[in-house]
């Protein structure tokens, strides 16, 4: 949102929608830079959540990345073609844990 | 673990690199040299003199000082690049947006030279989850990606830093509400602003660089709301005079805010955030000296992001695992107790930086240098030459005096408890409300934060009480009518496993055939506190 985009950028998708990423950005940084604030719904109250601490402490930014749930989006560096999907609850469907 | 080093095979190279360990790997590369460690469950490599955990100001200073004392150092850090949170930067960053960049460059050059010389191995993107005492030092249990890795060292220097301290308030879980540190990390590390219209709130001098950075990056900073009254700092004229550099730094940030016409208000706080899927605004209020809400002073501000922080919480779990004594510091944080050489009461364990008391980069750099120097001497079995660090010790003293004055000028009085409603979520992970925490005390008989954690699940989620631990200790202390003590904070901060790890790694690292290992693993992390 703030720096001029570099020419060597690439794209990832969040729930099928493409967004531009600068090399070196984490998934969370790329999503926030694209104007997105939430990519998870909580286990108990089904409330939306996104990043909070931004440095891997709080686990609020959990996302399903390339099919693997519970990834800290603020720590995972985005790679070309990453498929990010909003995580619901534990990210394991109907399983209890 | 007590095998003779001469019988050991050469250090294994991590499976993640696939490249035989070249000692000349550049620091910025993701594939830093993985030599000197070994896979969990396999034969160990020869021990380092020091394992420095954390590559921020304290860890870098410790590494460089130890190398100058002819020690061999494993520098272990979770981030891809050195610098910690203070110097968090982008690849190819020229440092223009950073304070003190030249100091990072000097330290980084020192570490790079040592890497080339083979005296330092930088373990980048490696997360330490447990440190275990052994017959001849320590085994650092770590995770590289999904792979369990172990590093052996004769001494450890814990420079694990701190993260933003948070106070819960209604709406603080709404997306778009961030910690002040998150705003800074996203901006400095990734060139991303958390929003277009941002409210910066909380207490302490850190709010100023956060707000100035956002304003310079083009965001509209709707206001900087300082809950305290920083003019209290003027009660320390001597300290102020000796800290002219720090004051100039603060004045420079204030000038940036004025240039961008950012309102700066003291004794004012965000007491509620609004919005459904994302924050749309905040309720603010004037505060009395004990942080109670001044009647009739409430107002609303529209915004799309909030950055909030009430000081910092040190990361104590590795030191608690090792049984290092802790106490409550002037700012209410749980900090490790160290002697004049930055040594803990646990032999071979040294600590530097925020873990021994929140005090900023100057203090961390001085403590790191002293710790690295002393740890090298310990590893080499010789006494510490204190004259070699005489000037650094004096610098540490001045920086501590400055930090003490800041703690006194930016206290966190308990009036914030009145901002919460029964429905306010306190534990974000387990979504535990204030009402349930109060019921745990009033109806279920919990008498301390750990008891509340057990019956109400507050602090039991993925963050392991890192975010709500301080607030929980305050809430339960208030409810039970007693002061918050070190046991309250330690009960929320003791984490036998400091990072989430795959069960496969835990099962490999069990070492049940080694009775010595078995003993240390079953010892309570807080037993010697």
Nearest CA in chain B to A25: B190
Which residue, among B369, B360, B437, B371, has the nearest Cα to B399 in the 3D structure? B360
Min Cα distance A62 → chain B (Å) is 10
Q: What is the DSSP string of chain A?
A: --SPPPTT-EEEEETTEEEEE-TT-BHHHHHHHTT----EE-TTT--EE--SSSSSSS-TTEEEETTEEEEETTTSBP-TT-EEE-EETTSSTT---
Q: How confident is the model at residue B303 (pLDDT cuts 50, 70, 90)?
A: very high
Average pLDDT estimate for B5-33: 33
User: Would you place residue B22 in the very low, low, confident or very high pLDDT band (cuts 50, 70, 90)?
Assistant: very low
A25/B78 CB distance under 8 A? no
Cβ-in-10-Å burial (0-12, 13-18, 19+) of B248 comes to exposed
Is A42 within 8 Å of B431 when comparing Cβ atoms?
yes
**How far does A37 lie from chain B, in Å, by closest CA?**
6
Q: Measuring CA to CA, how many Å separate B510 from each of B3, B145, B496, B502, B513?
A: 18, 19, 13, 13, 9
User: Quick one: pLDDT at residue A45?
Assistant: 94
Summarised one tens digit per residue, pLDDT across range B37-53 is 666 666 566 799 999 99
- Report pLDDT digits (tens) over B209-224: 999 999 999 999 999 9
Q: Which residues in chain B are closer than 8 Å to A60, comparing Cβ atoms?
A: 428-429
Count other Cβ atoms within 10 Å, centred on residue B470. 27
Share of chain B above pLDDT 90, in %: 74
| pLDDT tier at A31, thresholds 50, 70, 90 | very high
C-beta separation of B141 from B509 below 8 A: yes
| End-to-end CA gap in chain A | 37
pLDDT of residue B244: 75
The DSSP element (H or E) to which B259 belongs, if any, is helix B244-259
- Whether the pLDDT of residue B201 is over 70: the answer is yes
CB atoms within 10 A of CB B457: 17
DSSP per position, B181-235: HHHHHHHHHHS--S-SEEEEEEESTTHHHHHHHHHHTT-EEEEEEESS-GGGGGG
Question: What average pLDDT score do residues B388-414 get?
Answer: 94
In chain B, the residue whose alpha carbon lies closest to the alpha carbon of A58 is B463
- 8 Å CB contact of A55 and B163: yes
Tokens of B525: 């992390």
Q: Structure pTM?
A: 0.87
Question: Which ipTM score applies to this complex?
Answer: 0.92
Q: Taking Cα atoms as reference points, which of B122, B180, B138 lies closest to residue B47?
A: B138
pLDDT at A4 over 70: no
Among the partner residues B78, B173, B196, nearest to A47 by beta-carbon distance: B173
Count interface pairs A-B at CB distance under 8 A: 110
pLDDT at B522: 28
To the nearest whole angstrom, how far is the Cα of A3 from the nearest Cα of chain B? 6
Chain A residues contacting B, CB < 8 Å?
A: 1-3, 22-26, 28-29, 32-33, 37-38, 42-45, 47-60, 62, 74-75, 77
Residue B237: per-residue pLDDT: 66
Within 8 A of B185 by CB-CB distance, chain A residues are 54-55, 74
Considering CB atoms only, which of A24, A43, A57 is closest to B90?
Answer: A24
Beta strands in B326-427 (DSSP E): 326-328, 334-336, 349-351, 425-427
Alpha-carbon distance of B317 to B323, in angstroms, equals: 10
B49-81: pLDDT as tens digits: 999 999 999 999 999 999 999 999 999 999 989
Q: Which of A45, A49, A54 sits opposite B186 (nearest CB)?
A: A54
Give the residue from B31, B190, B279 with the most A CB atoms within 10 Å of its CB, the best one to mutate.
Answer: B190
């Amino acid at each position: 949102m703030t720096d001029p985009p570099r020419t060597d950028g690439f794209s990832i998708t969040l729930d099928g929608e493409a967004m531009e990423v600068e090399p070196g950005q984490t998934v969370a940084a790329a999503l926030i830079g694209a104007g997105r604030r939430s990519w998870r719904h909580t286990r108990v109250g089904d409330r939306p959540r996104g990043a909070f601490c931004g440095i891997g402490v709080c686990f609020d930014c959990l996302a399903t990345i390339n099919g693997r749930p519970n990834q800290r989006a603020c720590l995972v560096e985005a790679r070309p073609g990453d498929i990010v999907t909003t995580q619901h609850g534990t990210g394991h469907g109907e399983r209890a844990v | 673990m007590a095998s003779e080093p001469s019988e050991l095979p050469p250090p294994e190279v991590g499976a993640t690199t696939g490249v035989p360990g070249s000692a000349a790997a550049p620091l910025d590369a993701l594939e830093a040299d993985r030599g000197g460690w070994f896979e969990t469950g396999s034969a160990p490599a020869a021990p380092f003199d020091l394992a420095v955990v954390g590559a921020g100001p304290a860890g870098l200073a410790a590494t460089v000082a130890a190398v100058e004392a002819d020690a061999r150092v494993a520098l272990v850090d979770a981030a891809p690049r050195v610098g910690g949170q203070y110097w968090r930067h982008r690849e190819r960053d020229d440092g223009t947006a950073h304070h003190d960049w030249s100091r990072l460059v000097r330290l980084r050059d020192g570490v790079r030279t040592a890497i080339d010389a083979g005296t330092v191995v930088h373990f980048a993107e490696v997360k330490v989850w447990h440190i275990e005492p052994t017959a001849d030092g320590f085994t650092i249990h770590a995770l590289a990606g999904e792979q369990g890795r172990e590093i052996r060292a004769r001494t450890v220097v814990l420079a694990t830093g701190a993260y933003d301290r948070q106070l819960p308030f209604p709406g603080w879980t709404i997306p778009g509400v961030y910690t002040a540190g998150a705003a800074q990390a996203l901006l400095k590390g990734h060139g991303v602003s958390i929003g277009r219209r941002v409210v910066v709130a909380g207490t302490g001098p850190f709010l100023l660089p956060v707000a100035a950075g956002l304003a310079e990056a083009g965001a509209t900073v709707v206001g900087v709301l300082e809950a305290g009254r920083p003019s209290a700092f003027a009660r320390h004229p001597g300290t102020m005079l000796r800290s002219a550099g720090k004051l100039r730094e603060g004045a420079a940030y204030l000038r940036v805010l004025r240039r961008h016409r950012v309102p700066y208000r003291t004794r004012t706080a965000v007491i509620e955030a609004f919005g459904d899927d994302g924050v749309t605004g905040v309720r603010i209020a004037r505060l009395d000296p004990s942080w109670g809400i001044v009647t009739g002073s409430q107002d609303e501000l529209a915004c799309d992001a909030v950055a909030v922080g009430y000081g910092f919480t040190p990361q104590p779990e590795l030191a608690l695992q090792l049984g290092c004594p802790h106490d409550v510091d002037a700012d209410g944080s749980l900090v490790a107790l160290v002697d004049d050489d930055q040594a803990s009461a646990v032999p071979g364990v040294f600590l530097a930086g925020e873990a021994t008391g929140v005090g900023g980069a100057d203090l961390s750099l001085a403590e790191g240098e002293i710790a690295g120097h002393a740890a090298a001497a310990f590893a080499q079995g010789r006494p510490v030459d204190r004259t070699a660090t005489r000037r650094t010790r004096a610098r540490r003293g001045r920086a501590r005096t400055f930090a003490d004055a800041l703690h006194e000028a930016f206290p966190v009085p308990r009036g914030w408890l009145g901002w919460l409603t029964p429905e306010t979520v306190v534990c974000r992970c387990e979504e535990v409300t204030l009402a349930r925490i109060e019921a745990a005390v009033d109806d279920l008989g919990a008498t301390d934060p750990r008891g509340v954690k057990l019956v109400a699940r507050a602090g039991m989620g993925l963050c392991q009480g890192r975010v709500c631990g301080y607030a929980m200790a305050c809430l339960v202390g208030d409810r039970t009518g007693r002061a918050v003590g070190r046991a309250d904070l330690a009960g929320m901060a003791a984490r036998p496993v400091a990072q989430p790890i795959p069960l496969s790694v835990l099962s490999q690292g069990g070492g049940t055939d080694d009775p010595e290992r078995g003993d240390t693993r079953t010892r309570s992390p807080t037993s010697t506190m």
